[in-house]
Structure 1
Amino acid sequence: MTEVELRHLRTMAAIAEEGTFGRAAVRLGYTQSSVSQQVAALEKAVGGAVFDRPGGPKPVRITALGEVVLTHGRELLAKAEALGDAVDRFRAGGGRIDIGTFQAATNLILPGVVRRLLDEHPGCDIRLSDVDPADPGADRRDLLFHYDRIAGDVEHIELLEEPYLLVAAAGTFPAGPVPVKRLDETPLVAWPPTPHQKRLERALAEGGARPRIVFRTGGHEAVLSMVRAGIGSAVMPALALHRSDVWSDERLTVHPLRPSPATTWYLYWPAGRDRSPLVTRAVDIAVETARDLMTQMHRRAQRRP
């Protein structure tokens, strides 16, 4: 059997439902001769007649072979219609998107991305997963938020550059920026030696400071609690303080560091892969949200006495 075309099956179904070639032609917007040609092509493809043609105005009758062809043909037409609908939804942003993320991006950027995608495309399928820093898997996801450079066949944009800030008990340091060298042998509360924390401590060492780590604990609030308790200061990413009450806490002061260590947030996607409308929209929202975050952070820092 040679290849059967969907348009031939569609014409056959219309004839079976309308009863005559003429009415099927009107329904489909074809000429009657075009309908006859398509049926002839279908019969050639399947190797036999699919309709008995009594002639004149009498309705055509479907043959036994035609019943087999029509039964399976309708299934193919339904699948083709479903495929067309799926492609249309995909082009309109109704597909699936897999996003890898890390904690800070999850807290500060991802909620806005997810909320706006669902508002704009209620049928989209958003799948989120936490990133393993040792194996971020940028090639396995449509998008990946990460705070480090990734080698391999990926493309990226820089979302923002996040400075580190010094948080100390009030009166520990003079107001204003603090030189990194001033932190040499200074008691600090710090995170456990995660890859992120190790990079920070290397940056401090390159700036001439090897602080005395008096306590390591996970979680930004736990670190701040220990600073409030008075056992040491802390060097923290600026956006970790974005929604914190540290800015209004009279027991604490926040200082820029000079030179300022910083970490860059990136958004990755596999190189060479066509980005769907949903992925493209997610990138646009992430860039906009990151820009707004940085604006808010700078304004807050300027208002700090």
Structure 2
Amino acid sequence: MGMAEASFRQLAAFVAVAREESFSAAADELRYGQATVSQQVAALEKHIGARLFERPGGPKSISLTPLGRVLLPQAQHILEHVTNVELDIRDVASGAAGRIKIGTFQSVAVHLLPAAVHALRMKSPQVTFSLFEGPSSEGLIDLLLDDELDATFIEGTSSDPRLDVTKLGTDPYLLLIGPDSELLELVHEDSLPITALDGVDLIGQPALTYQDDVDAFLRSNGITPRYLFRTVDNGAVQAMVRSGVGPAIMPRLAIDMQDADITTVSLSPNIDPRVISLVVRHDDAAIPAATAFAAAAREAARAVLTSGR
């Protein structure tokens, strides 16, 4: 037998008696009966194989033996450590702490994610984050299901029963026109007829992004898309437009709307806005901090996106 057999309650009783120098006072502190405290200390002494207290009897206070004085700081450290572990577990279980692995894509990472992170940190400052930017919503969902992510933003929605999907809102598409483009003469009431893009060289993104929806929309209106330049970098797309290389169709969230050299207009008819959602694993598979982050993302989306309701 030895310390390995000592229990948390035995150590707590020992520390309380040492602090109060009295079994009865320790019992009051711990809200145990005095007999229970005496039994816990006696059991601890039995495990160790030696007395921890001098018990003189009468009015004299009890005192620690030399072995008791050695054990006391170690017992206090163990109790403090166990208490901290319990608090950490409680915080993680409630969503007040923990590390969240978040999947995202470029425009959300720039314009929506910072507000969501800030909102959660204001309520739960112990929560930390790691970020993964994925090329496609399908790939991000796969990472979520493989437990590589705790939550992810996606374009569109998902009907997978293993997932909880929150529609955050919609993001309208706009046409970006450079400062010297002839297309500016065709703009009427902040709108450009889609037919004006027939035969125009465009700037765009590669497949696997929102570009697939843009291309399908153009083809459905009898326009074969032609691209001079493709890049996944939203800023590079906008820079090409600004330099007069060609126009681009982008979701509003992907655009720097403060760029004075760019004119943004809607198309007529216009492409349906993209849906932006946040996804976590269903029910108990989602960590509490991820659920708390979903609530923060909904709050942030109200200021950034068109209402999803």
TM-score (norm 2): 0.75
* 2:176 maps to which of 156, 167, 179: 167
Residue by residue over 1:235-292, the C-alpha shift from the partner in whole angstroms, topping out at 9 and shown as x without a partner, is 111222362336xx6x84512342524322221223332542x433322221122222
TM-score (norm 1): 0.76
**Unmatched runs of 5 consecutive residues or more in structure 2:** 178-182
Residue 115 of structure 2 aligns with which residue?
112
* 2:285 maps to which of 254, 273, 277: 273
Residue by residue over 1:47-70, the C-alpha shift from the partner in whole angstroms, topping out at 9 and shown as x without a partner, is 665445343334445567766765
Q: State the Cα distance separating 1:230 from its structure 2 match.
A: 4.9
Distance across 2 between alignment mates of 1:32 and 1:262: 71
Contact 1:177 1:258 in 2 (8 A): no
Residue 301 of structure 1 aligns with which residue?
none
Residue by residue over 1:138-178, the C-alpha shift from the partner in whole angstroms, topping out at 9 and shown as x without a partner, is 22222222225566843221222223223343123555655
How many residues are matched?
292
Q: Please give the residue correspondences for 1:152-191 in structure 2 after superposition, counting only pairs within 5 Å.
A: 153-168=162-177, 169-172=183-186, 174-175=188-189, 183-191=197-205
Comparing 204-213 with 220-229, greater Cα deviation is found at 220-229
2:221 pairs with 1:210: no
Distance across 1 between alignment mates of 2:192 and 2:84: 63
Distance across 1 between alignment mates of 2:11 and 2:264: 76
Distance across 2 between alignment mates of 1:147 and 1:287: 15
Distance across 2 between alignment mates of 1:225 and 1:81: 55
Contact 1:96 1:124 in 2 (8 A): yes
Comparing 39-48 with 198-207, greater Cα deviation is found at 39-48
* 1:143 maps to which of 130, 143, 151: 151
Distance across 2 between alignment mates of 1:171 and 1:66: 91
Distance across 2 between alignment mates of 1:13 and 1:207: 80
Q: State the Cα distance separating 1:12 from its structure 2 match.
A: 0.9
Contact 2:175 2:250 in 1 (8 A): yes
Q: State the Cα distance separating 1:82 from its structure 2 match.
A: 1.4
Residue 300 of structure 1 aligns with which residue?
none
Q: Which amino acid is the alignment partner of residue 33 of structure 1?
A: A
**Unmatched runs of 5 consecutive residues or more in structure 1:** 297-305
Residue 131 of structure 1 aligns with which residue?
134
> Are the structure 2 counterparts of residues 98 and 236 from structure 1 closer, same or farther at C-alpha, using a change threshold of 3 Å?
same
Distance across 2 between alignment mates of 1:205 and 1:161: 22
* 2:271 maps to which of 221, 240, 260: 260
Contact 1:100 1:143 in 2 (8 A): yes
Q: State the Cα distance separating 1:84 from its structure 2 match.
A: 3.0
Contact 2:174 2:264 in 1 (8 A): no
